[in-house]
Amino acid sequence: MKNTTNTFITGLFVFLIFGAGLAFADEPLGKEALETLIKGNTVEGIKLNWKTTYKMYFDPNGRFTRIDSLNNKEKGAWSIDKKGILLMSGRKDNYRIVKKRSDGGYDLCDKTGKPLLTMDKVVPGNPYNLGL
């Protein structure tokens, strides 16, 4: 009986630590979590349709600067609405749902949930001196 109880408790612990975490891995980030993640930081990732890498700095004052591996540059404004949707106004307006992946990275998705960009690394500050 003792082994059965220990096995059950161990299994429950493993589920709560790993299984429950995976269940929430595809959930969109909330407003506060997303703001804490990007505000004043630089993100690095891949633009999936072009297979290009990019770096984007999110200034605390609501401005962003992005440069990709093809040397395309974009500047604009960013904000997060009350539902946690990232609003970016640059060459065109973009609305992105940010979801945490099970590998620790993030996906920036369109309104249907399709990943368009990855955020694979978040670097504190603006170490690449991406101008605003």
Domain for residue 14, yes or no?
Answer: no
pLDDT (0 to 100) of residue 34:
97
Domain for residue 60, yes or no?
Answer: yes
- pLDDT averaged over 10-residue windows placed end to end, the chain, 132 residues: 44 37 63 97 97 97 97 96 95 92 95 95 97 76
Residue range(s) defining the domain that contains residue 74: 27-124
Q: How many domains does the chain have?
A: 1
Domain for residue 6, yes or no?
Answer: no
* DSSP secondary structure string for all residues of 37-102: HHTTEEEEEEETTTTEEEEEEE-TTSEEEEEETT--EEEEEEEE-TT--EEEESSSEEEEEEEE-T
Domain for residue 116, yes or no?
Answer: yes
CA distance 128 to 4: 56
pLDDT (0 to 100) of residue 5:
43
Q: Which domain CATH number covers 113?
A: 2.40.128.640
Domain for residue 10, yes or no?
Answer: no
| Whether the predicted model's global pTM rises above the 0.85 cut | no
pLDDT (0 to 100) of residue 82:
94
Domain for residue 109, yes or no?
Answer: yes
Domain for residue 33, yes or no?
Answer: yes
pLDDT (0 to 100) of residue 71:
95
Domain for residue 22, yes or no?
Answer: no
pLDDT (0 to 100) of residue 68:
97
